Structure 1
């Protein structure tokens, strides 16, 4: 496929989403499809492990699930200082879902696009994390939860006071409000752009390696794949931890 349209055409083809609609109402079908499939895979795995869980000698699947749950639970206990039954399941969902998003980057870059072309699909971008719409949608869900818990814990007047009277007191309300608006907007933007930027760059490197002669590809592709395993895990961890931190700040009532 690398010869179709030259190197530039090959790169553009792999980074162009399968979409319908125009302008604001454009839907990236590949991002929606793979996100739904990976989310279903996450639910199915943990549900099946929970149904077959035993107090005796656990199997490999139960060991793996318990290790992930314990890891996430430790992060929540160390970082979150409020009281909420939602935060730990939310953190687990975010970590696993983002990791699965990122793990799609480990598949051969031509595999699924070739299958899609056989099925009549002109484009297919298989890594949801390389779609800014996907990462932004996930970060906006965290953004709305931040406001929901800020108002729930502090009350509407406490929330307004926090937005207008900190950090410089009531005499500088317009300046305080401007700073707080910038601070709050920076949270979803930084979450979305950090995840998107790292995975987009990683996918681009894989595509560039695929353009090299077949003899060279394993020499560069394998070391990059090993390194990229750390990247995809780290990015999922960072997204989860920042979500916990932001929601912990939202629960601070003083």
Structure 2
């Protein structure tokens, strides 16, 4: 990304790419680029899968229908083997998480300067200094997005725990295990609360950390190699292809496991 006043330093280049387009201040700051890309990719998922469902045939499926069926069957079998409760919500939730996170992760494969370059040129047309145009196109490299997903899962965990075990049963799990001895109840409570809070934290930070590290390497390649970045970009992208679906799968799998644990009666 070129500076209008001269060549940008590598550190300034990296900082520019790691800055979100934001509105608001403090806690109420909204990352507009993260919100926009996550909504667009969510609509891509909904509309594309809906189209495949509407055009589905009992005969020989088309390529897109076959792809959708493979994904749905994979998620369905994963849910059946790992979720031991009885809820019609879990399979659609797992499918949504897997595909949505996968699509957001795939944005990492787009050459790092392409979308910012387009955004800068739109900014120039609108009379905005290109150096003031910020856009991050990978929502999962933003902790706001990964924590929003994990907090949603956390709320469902609490909901299923209370729905199936009742408030008393849920509270008893917090203070009466792993040691069902009255004088150890305070120790149990601290231990279980820490474990409970650690689940959404680990979900959010694992996804963010892996994608952020991959994005940072793409930025370093582009910042140090300039126009020669594409060959190296695609070489790193080949390795990164292993991380992208794996992180989506891990997020989905942990969601299923956490909700299964919340649905179990002890």
TM-score by length of 1: 0.97
Distance 1:19 1:51 in 2: 38
Distance 1:168 1:206 in 2: 48
Distance 1:10 1:194, change over 3 A: same
Distance 1:210 1:29 in 2: 24
Match of 1:236 among 248, 253, 259: 248
Distance 1:2 1:190, change over 3 A: farther
Q: Which residue pairs with 2:99 in the alignment?
A: 96
Matched, 1:196 2:208: yes
Matches within 5 A, 1:59-70: 59-70=62-73
Distance 1:26 1:48 in 2: 36
Offset of residue 2 of structure 1: 5.5
SS of residue paired to 2:53: helix
Q: Which residue pairs with 2:47 in the alignment?
A: 44
Runs of 5+ unmatched residues, structure 1: none
Matched, 1:177 2:189: yes
Offset of residue 208 of structure 1: 1.0
Q: Which residue pairs with 2:129 in the alignment?
A: none
Q: Which residue pairs with 1:245 in the alignment?
A: 257
Offset of residue 114 of structure 1: 1.1
Q: Is the 8 A contact 2:164 2:263 kept in 1?
A: yes
Distance 1:74 1:20, change over 3 A: same
Offset of residue 216 of structure 1: 5.0
Matches within 5 A, 1:68-87: 68-87=71-90
TM-score by length of 2: 0.92
Offset of residue 156 of structure 1: 1.0
Q: Is the 8 A contact 1:164 1:170 kept in 2?
A: no
Matched, 1:167 2:170: no
Q: Which residue pairs with 2:151 in the alignment?
A: 140
Distance 2:227 2:100 in 1: 35
Offset of residue 218 of structure 1: 4.0
Q: Is the 8 A contact 2:10 2:224 kept in 1?
A: no
C-alpha offsets along residues 108-130 of structure 1, whole Å, 9 cap, x if unaligned? 11111111112226100110010
Match of 1:206 among 207, 218, 233: 218
Offset of residue 100 of structure 1: 0.6
SS of residue paired to 1:217: helix
